Structure 1
Amino acid sequence: MRKTLINREWSLLAFHRRVLEEGYDKSNPLMERCKFLAISCSNVDEFFMVRAASVVDQILADYHKEDHSGSTPQETLRGIEQIGQQIAADQYKLYEHLRTKLRASGLHLKKAHRLSLPEKQFLKSYFTEHIFPVLTPMVVDQSRPFPVIQNKSLNLGLRVKDPEDGEIVFATVAVPEVLSRLVELPSHGQGREFVLLEDVMKMHMDVLFSGYDITEIKAYRITRNADLDIDEDGAEDLLKEIEQSLKMRRWGNVIRLEVEADTSKEMIRMITQDGEDDPDAGINYVDGPLDLTFMNKITQLTGYDHLHDAPFQPTMPHDREVDLLDWIREQDRLLHHPFDSFGVVVNLIRRAAKDPDVLAIKQTLYRVSGNSPIIQALIEAAENKKQVTVLVEIKARFDEENNIHWAKRLEQAGCHVIYGLVGLKTHLKMLLIVRREEQGIRRYVHLGTGNYNDVTANFYTDMGLLTVNAQIGSDASTIFNMLSGYSVPSSLNKCTIAPLFLRKRLEQLIEYEIDSVKKGGTGRILLKMNALVDVKLIHLLYKASKAGVRIDLIVRGVCCLRPGVKGLSENITVKSIVGRFLEHTRIFYFQHGGKELTFLSSADWMPRNLDRRVEAMFPIEVPELKQRIRDILSLYMKDNVKSRYLQPDGSYVKPKTKPQLRIHAQQLLIKEASRSHMQPVTLQLQPRQTPDRVMALKVSAYDH
């Protein structure tokens, strides 16, 4: 195969298709299927706002160079448009299917032409009282220019005819985001019925344009470039610079235009005129309601618990009768969320905030919840006169506004707030608690693979290490000094950080496996991550495969490596797992001549993580914890329900499995946690299945 790498953008779209497939999976409860449809739509929106936008920027800059997959920006964009249209068609096919299933369950999403006379009368009154006062019609004519349409907003476009002179002008009305997209009709004791807000508006637009003839009303939606471009070196106040850029995000260049399927060419011409005529902005004709993320609102309706996954209560691994700090001092503790409750971490910070012997708390925050108990605990700690230092990453994409808010709150409470290093995002997950004890100063450290977010910790799989290991504690202090000052460590004891050492360390670990095989031994690499994009490391894995190293990769999202190519990667398998929980853990296992090194990390294998972010990789050295991680990896490798195997052409296939041999990793971990956190998963690492034994049913493929 001439092209040794898979196109990054097409690979990411393949992941979004995998999410959509969960909506098609009839083994998932109905509301969960609706949720996956909404997530898929939100994911694709973000893809166009960021990834497709960057490709369009290259084209506008007249850039024609091929990327590492051998594709020019123009070829990449054509592929994006083709795959995007395929995904959109599948989304709306699924939507109609789910509408039918919802109706059978007592939830009816009605169309306007299906309404009875009493229902129409109710909606007329509802429009007059609740909708009409909020609306602002905007007409485009010689004296009124085309308004700037906000990113991702839903709008109604109208062609309005003046009965006196016959002139047709364009008008637009925003569908108000402050109102519920679902308008509920009066109940008749047979379930619940809803009409979409934009349909109610369409029925009554004559009220806004009385005296004029409305010849056409169609919904449309614009997606804009939302990637922030900030000159950190030239920004005297980074906080103000980002706040200003956030405002501009709503008005970036148009990347995509969505319209109803039967929208006239004349309406399209009117919508795309006057500054909205970017020739590279794709037009998507949609056979159904625009912006299906409203399906999330359906899943939040009460009274339908039987249509959701069975509730799962994370296990609290810490015995409440034992002091939390005593529990950590006893031995290193491994947390596997959401099966182990994230409440342990929250309680640790709360405990430290009140403890008179705690002198300092230092923490990195990348993404936190909207009402974060961790923030509240840090504020309390500062009020209790402890030295509290918090690195808040205000460049965390799409969380900038939330993080700016918390940064200001922390500063007002007396915390020392820092924003990281110029040109780098701080993505590592680290908590350091410095405590005065009888034996002297002791450092309690938490290192994790996921964010300090008490909400997402309930549905992201992540791991964290709690330790009082003196060398890791020393590393934590050194790293925080680097983040808050000018010191650059020449080395660390246990941890490895990017961008200083992580890439080189990973290269050394892979090369060791290669050398082991060359010396007559065996080599084994097992990696779990969210994305594999870095070209240098991919080619090093190819080198290891050709040398005879056995490599299994669990890559949830983007993967540019082509597995199973003869003479290149025939010793590599890649699987993606998408299920009830978002797989987010980064685990790196190397056989290392029998020493079996196991690491956890905040970093995926991408250039941005290794070269442009502050990340951490840390070892798991306690034998019991290493075994637990190996058992979990083994279970994920055995999963044949939610796994899909990546093919050399970039497509994914589902393993053919007999019903009695189905292994669903996440369900087994839920059952294990429900029984007892004291009983770890006991499945052992087994010889892997080769691609020809596990590949069966094609799920998706590209014609590129």
Structure 2
Amino acid sequence: MDYKESKYYNSKQLSWLKFNNRVLEEAQDESNPLLERAKFLSITASNLDEFVMVRVARLKKRVDSGVDKQDKAGYKPQQLLLELLNGIHSLVAKQYSCFAELLNNLEQEDILFTKIEDLTMKQKLFLDDYFAETISPILNPLIIEQGSSLSFLSNKTLYLSVRLKSKNSKESSSKQKENFSIVKLPTTLSRVIELPTAQEDKRVFLLLERVIEEYIDLLYSDYQVEAVNAFRITRNADIDIDQEAQDLLLEMKDYLRRRERGFPVRLEVEEEMDGQLKEFLLGSLKLSESDTYEVAGPIDLTFLLEFSQLEGYDHLRFEPLVPQSAQDFDGYDDIFTQINERDRLVHHPYESFEPVIELVRQAAVDPKVIAIKQTIYRVSEDSPIIDALLKAVENGKQVTVFVELKARFDEENNISLVKKLENAGCHVLYGLAGLKVHAKALLVVREEDERIKRYVHLGTGNYNDQTAKVYTDFSMFTAKDDFGRDVAKLFNFLNGSLESPDWRKITVAPFNLRYNFTKLIRNEIEQVKLGKEGRIIAKMNALVDQKIITELYSASTAGVKVDLIIRGICCLSPGLKGLSENIRVISIVGRFLEHSRVFYFENGGEAKLFLASADWRPRNLNRRIEVLFPVEEEKLKKRIINILEILLSDTVKARKQQPDGSYQRPSSLP
């Protein structure tokens, strides 16, 4: 049997679309609190923005360049693009149906999005003043010649398109030339405007674009406004980076400028948009009807993320989860004493992220600490970890930080971070040709009893104290010498060492991570041949890599039981007779983002358990610096295995993948 046949491999793009539909199900789920449903809806919109900017744009480039080669799932570019666009149009229709339902439910809670025609006199007077004093001074309407380029329009920015006729023309109305104008909605103002109301228990809101539309005539004294409609374009963000650039920092700044002006991929317009305005936009942007999305509501639902935090409505949100103190860190104030005693494990967000922060804080002021080395992929805006690193530099510590400039959509933040760290005196690294550094590693070097002692933190998630409140991840702390030496070698490599690393404990992509995963999977097959049980449990964000998938198919046909907990994309087909009937795939989408990567191998009764920064995707195994690390202490292993078993028994938020690629809740299965 050829496990690489296209019929055994799901399209990763179509699989992603199914994932975003699962997120949308959470917005539709009436058992979720109302404002949490609004937040899930905003997440589906944000997810789709990124997907269109990168995946759809990449596919359009292939079609436009004439590529006709089938992908691993058997799709030619044109065929896949058509199916993908149909799926996206269907998703958008469901998003706005959900939005309409949420509006009705919000109204029942006395939270109302009103219309201009329904304003009271008091509200109208309020808007008269608000437009004149706050909105109008920062608007900049631009008259556009028909057929002119709209390359200046910003990505993912809301605009109003306006059709005008001159008031001073001597020509008859039928012969007057149409004029067009563009008005950018100010991003410095809140999109949601609260209006005064006579009822204290009622909250009334109006969107910014509706206000500007109402007063649009005031912007064009020499013209008559014939029509006005909102629109938004999404541009290509799949821009190549010169990996060999001598100054990567300058290259990234140029990359961000080029990305902001990438070719248009999608046009969003309001339902029943003025025909001439639509024709003007399509012609100027060189887009087709299939690239156009007419939405039955306000364009860009990402505004619901901020709106979901509306004060005074805690009863419409999940009860706040206050992370408990990390159970492995009870007992000592000195974090080094605790880690030196034994390995420690923290499960975020159920347990506090504080031990990770505290390790850097104590290292920054501890007179015994010589050096701190850390990788940074994404951090929060006011990161306490960055503050601690800056304090460490002030105290004379050697601080080395690898900041990944190519972290998609965090590039600008990370460029600013590089400047901040460099100005403070940190040794900052930020460039590896052809590789992203996605590993989550922290090394503290301490002098104890006239010898060097290394303390290590390794994690499955970013050093971001904010996302650690909503992403499920694991942190492991250890002072074992082999781990310390390995992580020291990792940082030596990042610093330009030409020495070929020889790892004792950790496994590192792109060096030996694929090889070791393959070896571990094949070992389970050998255990079955020896008459023992073979079992694999793997939890990750996505399974895409075809070579790994064929190894899992081989394991299944050999009798190995494989349980996969995959939140997002899954290109493997489970439950196929004679191929994958021993493989079960579930996706858990719920309140917290399942982000941890965990890999369990039965190993003939002597189980091996690993945590990692990597998914099973070609980019993680081939084009990134990733770290897989073993959990060795039995107490910690048992704890993680118990968590895996809880996830596998979920009948509330889990969806089980069917052989045809669809997903069903276990409770709905026969």
- TM-score, normalised with respect to structure 1: 0.91
- Residue in structure 2 matched with residue 183 of structure 1 by the alignment: 193
The DSSP-based 3-state class of the residue aligned with 1:94 is helix
Please state if 1:289 is matched with 2:298.
yes
Deviation of 1:142 (Å): 7.2
* Aligned-partner residue type, residue 98 of structure 1: L
Within 2, Cα distance between the matches of 1:258 and 1:24? 23
Deviation of 1:144 (Å): 7.2
Please state if 1:4 is matched with 2:8.
yes
Q: Which moved more, 1:100-109 or 1:626-635?
A: 100-109
Q: 1:30 aligns with which of 30, 34, 40?
A: 34
Deviation of 1:221 (Å): 0.6
Deviation of 1:397 (Å): 0.4
Where do residues 323-362 of structure 1 align in structure 2 (5 Å cutoff)? 323-362=334-373
* Aligned-partner residue type, residue 52 of structure 1: V
Within 2, Cα distance between the matches of 1:532 and 1:144? 44
Within 2, Cα distance between the matches of 1:569 and 1:143? 55
Within 1, Cα distance between the matches of 2:657 and 2:521? 22
* Aligned-partner residue type, residue 496 of structure 2: G
The DSSP-based 3-state class of the residue aligned with 2:210 is helix
Where do residues 207-246 of structure 1 align in structure 2 (5 Å cutoff)? 207-233=218-244, 235-246=245-256
Note the alpha carbon deviations across 1:91-126, whole angstroms, 9 max, x for none: 111111111111221211112232234322321221
Deviation of 1:248 (Å): 1.9
The DSSP-based 3-state class of the residue aligned with 2:302 is helix
Say if 1:420 and 1:484, in contact at 8 Å, map to a contact too: no
Unmatched 5+ residue regions in structure 1? 658-694, 697-704
Please state if 1:591 is matched with 2:602.
yes
When residues 585 and 176 of structure 1 are mapped into structure 2, their CA distance, relative to the original with a 3 A threshold, is: same
Please state if 1:17 is matched with 2:21.
yes
Say if 1:478 and 1:489, in contact at 8 Å, map to a contact too: no
Within 2, Cα distance between the matches of 1:523 and 1:144? 65
Within 1, Cα distance between the matches of 2:305 and 2:612? 32
Counting aligned pairs with the same residue, the percent is 48
Say if 1:586 and 1:600, in contact at 8 Å, map to a contact too: yes
Say if 1:475 and 1:495, in contact at 8 Å, map to a contact too: yes
Deviation of 1:129 (Å): 1.2
The DSSP-based 3-state class of the residue aligned with 2:268 is strand
The DSSP-based 3-state class of the residue aligned with 1:272 is helix
Where do residues 166-181 of structure 1 align in structure 2 (5 Å cutoff)? 166-181=176-191
Deviation of 1:511 (Å): 0.7
When residues 144 and 77 of structure 1 are mapped into structure 2, their CA distance, relative to the original with a 3 A threshold, is: closer
Say if 2:123 and 2:197, in contact at 8 Å, map to a contact too: no
Say if 1:56 and 1:280, in contact at 8 Å, map to a contact too: no
- Residue in structure 1 matched with residue 49 of structure 2 by the alignment: 45
- Residue in structure 2 matched with residue 462 of structure 1 by the alignment: 473
Say if 2:539 and 2:564, in contact at 8 Å, map to a contact too: yes
Unmatched 5+ residue regions in structure 2? none
The DSSP-based 3-state class of the residue aligned with 1:158 is strand
The DSSP-based 3-state class of the residue aligned with 1:588 is strand
The DSSP-based 3-state class of the residue aligned with 2:68 is coil
Say if 2:122 and 2:196, in contact at 8 Å, map to a contact too: no
When residues 537 and 247 of structure 1 are mapped into structure 2, their CA distance, relative to the original with a 3 A threshold, is: same
Note the alpha carbon deviations across 1:415-464, whole angstroms, 9 max, x for none: 11111421100000000001011262111000000000011001000001
Within 2, Cα distance between the matches of 1:2 and 1:139? 52
Deviation of 1:490 (Å): 4.5
Say if 1:528 and 1:585, in contact at 8 Å, map to a contact too: yes
Note the alpha carbon deviations across 1:190-246, whole angstroms, 9 max, x for none: 31111000000111111112242222111111000112311111x121001101111
Please state if 1:645 is matched with 2:656.
yes
Say if 2:248 and 2:431, in contact at 8 Å, map to a contact too: no
- Residue in structure 2 matched with residue 247 of structure 1 by the alignment: 257
* Aligned-partner residue type, residue 39 of structure 2: K
The DSSP-based 3-state class of the residue aligned with 2:392 is helix
The DSSP-based 3-state class of the residue aligned with 1:36 is helix
Please state if 1:299 is matched with 2:303.
no
- Residue in structure 2 matched with residue 673 of structure 1 by the alignment: none
| TM-align CA RMSD | 1.6
Please state if 1:105 is matched with 2:109.
yes
Consecutive aligned runs of 4 or more in structure 1 exceeding 6 Å deviation: none
- Residue in structure 2 matched with residue 386 of structure 1 by the alignment: 397
Deviation of 1:162 (Å): 2.3
Please state if 1:260 is matched with 2:270.
yes
The DSSP-based 3-state class of the residue aligned with 1:388 is strand
Please state if 1:616 is matched with 2:620.
no
* Aligned-partner residue type, residue 573 of structure 2: R
The DSSP-based 3-state class of the residue aligned with 1:292 is coil
Q: 2:639 aligns with which of 623, 628, 631?
A: 628
Please state if 1:575 is matched with 2:579.
no
- Residue in structure 2 matched with residue 309 of structure 1 by the alignment: 318
Deviation of 1:146 (Å): 4.3
Say if 1:255 and 1:280, in contact at 8 Å, map to a contact too: no
Within 2, Cα distance between the matches of 1:292 and 1:159? 25
- Residue in structure 1 matched with residue 160 of structure 2 by the alignment: 156
Where do residues 506-545 of structure 1 align in structure 2 (5 Å cutoff)? 506-545=517-556
Where do residues 486-525 of structure 1 align in structure 2 (5 Å cutoff)? 486-525=497-536
Say if 1:586 and 1:603, in contact at 8 Å, map to a contact too: yes
- TM-score, normalised with respect to structure 2: 0.96
Within 2, Cα distance between the matches of 1:39 and 1:291? 11
Deviation of 1:143 (Å): 11
Within 1, Cα distance between the matches of 2:361 and 2:549? 42
Deviation of 1:287 (Å): 0.8
Q: 1:473 aligns with which of 484, 499, 505?
A: 484
Note the alpha carbon deviations across 1:628-657, whole angstroms, 9 max, x for none: 010000000011100001112221111127
- Residue in structure 2 matched with residue 402 of structure 1 by the alignment: 413
Count of matched residue pairs: 657
* Aligned-partner residue type, residue 375 of structure 1: I
Q: 1:125 aligns with which of 129, 132, 136?
A: 129
Within 1, Cα distance between the matches of 2:72 and 2:6? 12
When residues 142 and 653 of structure 1 are mapped into structure 2, their CA distance, relative to the original with a 3 A threshold, is: closer
Within 1, Cα distance between the matches of 2:591 and 2:147? 53
Within 2, Cα distance between the matches of 1:445 and 1:429? 11
Q: 1:114 aligns with which of 109, 115, 118?
A: 118
Deviation of 1:187 (Å): 2.7
* Aligned-partner residue type, residue 87 of structure 1: L
Note the alpha carbon deviations across 1:539-580, whole angstroms, 9 max, x for none: 110111111110010000111001111111111110000111
Say if 1:255 and 1:281, in contact at 8 Å, map to a contact too: no
* Aligned-partner residue type, residue 303 of structure 1: G
Within 2, Cα distance between the matches of 1:143 and 1:421? 43
Deviation of 1:140 (Å): 1.5
Within 2, Cα distance between the matches of 1:265 and 1:559? 41
* Aligned-partner residue type, residue 641 of structure 2: R
* Aligned-partner residue type, residue 483 of structure 1: L
Within 2, Cα distance between the matches of 1:43 and 1:247? 22
The DSSP-based 3-state class of the residue aligned with 2:581 is coil
Within 2, Cα distance between the matches of 1:524 and 1:143? 63
Within 1, Cα distance between the matches of 2:350 and 2:239? 36
Deviation of 1:148 (Å): 2.1
Within 2, Cα distance between the matches of 1:535 and 1:351? 44
Note the alpha carbon deviations across 1:48-90, whole angstroms, 9 max, x for none: 0111111111112111111101111111111211111111111
Within 2, Cα distance between the matches of 1:558 and 1:285? 27
When residues 237 and 488 of structure 1 are mapped into structure 2, their CA distance, relative to the original with a 3 A threshold, is: same
Please state if 1:419 is matched with 2:419.
no
Within 2, Cα distance between the matches of 1:638 and 1:585? 17
* Aligned-partner residue type, residue 297 of structure 1: E
